[in-house]
Structure 1
Amino acid sequence: MDEAIAAFTMKYAPSIKNAEWHQRSLKRAIDSIQRESPEWYTVMIEDGRFGGAIGMPIYASALGQYGYDTNFEFNPTTQPELLDDFDEANALCEEVASRWKTNLIDVISSDQEASMFSPKEYAVFIGSRNPKLSEKEVADALGIAVGTYRGKVGRVRKKVQTARATLADVEITEKSDAWGRASYSASSSVLSRVDESQLPVDAKGIRRVPDHEVPVELLLEDP
């Protein structure tokens, strides 16, 4: 995943996902500094001002064909002057910010690669669900036409539907009683009147009245 797609995805992801990526990537930077420079690590952990000394805003550097932001970038900011009593404050802030940015792209890419989506499809998945974004905004952000964006949205939705169907099958097989002999019973008369999406059903006969003479709603019980 390139930086522009990662930055757009980060900027418009749900807040909980944004926070997860933010924290995972910064933790990786902190852990690597701990291994390589204990003195720097001590400053990062013990000096309460360090948190304000680096930031990771996301900006767009251009406008797309529909007049909306495109070419998103991570723009690390540093304020080493906040750590004025530490001689290597500038080097520390620059190094942590650089590692943080690299790690951000890595953790977002890792989640995308673990999904069923390509990088652009993953961004479309996020963007199409954000209620604050229009079709043209997402299309411009990804550098594609609206028609292309709609096609990608269709493919993303199809993949989600397929995944949900697969998950439903997984949930069935994980139930402890899933492997017993099925007790569902339904006559042709019942099946002909029930939508396929409702199957399987268990239809019980009422006295000796033929199934076809009884309203199907009275015959069906929840499986």
Structure 2
Amino acid sequence: MTRRINAAGLSLVKQWEGLKNTAYRDVAGVLTIGYGHTSAAGAPTVTPGMAIGDKEAERILKADLAKFEARVERFVKVPLTDNQFAALVSFDFNTGALDKSTLLKKLNKGDYAAVPVELMKWVNAGGKKVQGLVNRRAAEAGLWAKGEFVSSNYVPANTAANKTDVATIGGAGAAGAAATVGPVIPEIVSTISNQQDELSSGQWVRVAIAGVIVALTLWGIWRKTRS
């Protein structure tokens, strides 16, 4: 059975897609409804004047997400926490580029810490940086960084636990990559900071705050693996 996006991930997607209960034409002139649903995504077909309720919009969104949940499950070859899985589903739902990304290549080599940095590279549309994409990528990076630590295997009281065994998913070292988080924090902040010149002062403050939140979250995970 295909893995499904968790509540935190669904909430993130809903926030950034936005809800429209009546059909409208997007910037490309495509009829759209609900949380960014178009006829190309599958049923239902969007028609002029069409209207749906909130529950129906969520049902359609979940159906639309199924394709991308399956893609993440198929393309990612390393263990993921529920939040990491959800962050990648949101990213792929928005870009459709997971399978062609450097992000995937690095992740499948076990470089979990590279994911937040790679996410922040996907902020352009039409050759220009888009503030909404900057904010969405920061939110996805923050969701990715939320640790879910569980004990890997039983360790006798008189045996010191190996730091690489502190946290795993399904007995595998998914969170072990968090031990490499410390060195990547400056790179995340630098990636976000590079956009300062193209943002107004108010926008820059919001982006900076998002960057700090991501960095502090990652630092917290790194601290846990060190203890």
TM-based fold match above 0.5 = no
Report which of the two structures shows the higher radius of gyration computed on alpha carbons.
1
TM-score under structure 2 length normalisation: 0.31
TM-score (norm 1): 0.31
